[in-house]
Amino acid sequence: MKTVMKTRQKVRRGVLIASLALFPVTFYWLSPAVPLQGAAEGVLAGSLIVFGLLFLQSLLFGRLFCGWACPAGGLQELTALVRARRVNRRRINWIKYLVWLPWLATVVFLFIRAGGVKQVDPFYRTWHGISVADWQGAITALIVLVVLFIPAIAVGRRATCHTLCWMAPFMILGRWIRDQFAWPSLRLAVKKERCTACGQCTEACPMSIGVTDLVQRGRLESTDCILCGSCVDTCPRRVIRYSFSKGK
């Protein structure tokens, strides 16, 4: 069983690193700048469509994308090999809303100024869907990677997710709506009576969540949870498992 668990984390990290390697292709599909450029011309660009899809998937799968497929997640999990310090989430989590809210308001404003959505163009600013098609694009992608790298190396584990990510709030909103309606979705279920409070799950969590405390309370729910399964696969007592359920 343990071998299977370790394999799952190897697969997850492999997918994240593959996603990072594909960043030159997917860059504009995840970019916060492209929707601004598009909105100024009344064009609904591909990345805004992707953000809408991330919101929709979060209604059932929470932040699974962050844990399993995000290229910035791959970059940060590689960074954690040299900088694995846990972060103080309370202190830094608010920063991403300081980025997201003005950005979203600007997108809306630019669409209104352009007279609304005149065109839907999923391939906007890409070359046949590929983001980096010349050296200027390559330099821009490199600069963005450096910007995404800095919080993780300076502050600690996945600090970019906590502070800069413009995609996370869409999925946090989706999780919140899911919880209001309490429909079945992918979650973590716990059997707290099995827990010995060894703390290994907390130590393993890439999002610096106090997993042991939540397990002790019998409910493992956090807006920061990216459903990576590191706690599931680390726990020697099999206290935590994936579950598709309504939660408590």
Q: How many residues does the chain have?
A: 248
What is the C-alpha to C-alpha distance for residues 50 and 56, in angstroms, rounded to an integer?
10
What is the C-alpha to C-alpha distance for residues 178 and 183, in angstroms, rounded to an integer?
6
Site string (185-204) toward ligand SF4, x via CB under 6 A: ---x------xxxxxxx--x
Q: Please, which of residues 92-131 interact with ligand SF4 by CB under 6 A? A: none
215 near ligand SF4, rule: CB under 6 A: yes
Beta strand 119-121 with 43-45 is: parallel
Q: Write the DSSP string, 16-70.
A: HHHHHHTHHHHGGGS-SHHHHHHHHTTEEEHHHHHHHHHHHHHHHHTTHHHHHT-
36 near ligand SF4, rule: CB under 6 A: no
161 near ligand SF4, rule: CB under 6 A: no
Count the neighbouring beta carbons within 10 Å of the beta carbon of residue 85: 12
Select the residue interacting with ligand SF4 from 237, 241, 245, 246 (CB under 6 A): 237
**What is the total count of residues that contact ligand SF4 (CB under 6 A)?**
27
| Residue closer to ligand SF4 (CB basis): 32 or 174 | 174
Least CB distance to ligand SF4 at residue 22 (A): 23
| Residue closer to ligand SF4 (CB basis): 50 or 227 | 227
Residues forming contacts to ligand SF4 in the complex (CB under 6 A) are 188, 195-201, 204-205, 207, 209, 211-212, 215, 225-231, 234-235, 237, 239-240
